[in-house]
Amino acid sequence: MPYMLLIVEPPEQRRTRTEAEGRAVYDRMLRFGQELARRGKLLAGEALASQARAARVQVRGARASVVDGPFAEAKEMVGGFFLVDCATREEAVEIAAQCPAAEWCTVEVRALAPCYDDSLG
């Protein structure tokens, strides 16, 4: 069953690192992804740019509204993800605990399911 491991971090966290520190963290995450791939667990994974140039889109009454980032009210942002194939939720949680990002932010584990199916909720 596929599970999404969402890397949830404070939006200002990246600015607290030097470029060398940021590259070292990124390299650890790449190695983690490579190990998941070697084990046959990785379906996909990517880092996301900061929300400074992101956009939020809503359509209400056939009218679209767009809010450009950064989003002052945001306390957290999704900084990346790993999509993994696991037999159980427990296995996905175990993998999340091995993720280097769990040391400096939160790794949220979510099963993939259609939006009308809340049985895994």
Mean pLDDT of the chain: 93
Q: Tell me which residue of 98, 102, 100 sits closest to 29, measured CA to CA.
A: 100
Sheet of strand 42-47: strand arrangement = 42-47, 77-85, 2-9, 106-111
The CATH number fitting domain 2-111, selected from 3.30.70.1060, 3.30.360.10, 3.30.70.1450, 1.10.1070.11: 3.30.70.1060
State pTM to two decimals.
Answer: 0.89
CB contact at 8 A, 8 and 107: yes
> Domain segments of the chain: what residues?
2-111
Q: How sure is the predictor about 40, in pLDDT bands with cuts at 50, 70 and 90? A: very high
Tell me the residue length of the chain.
121
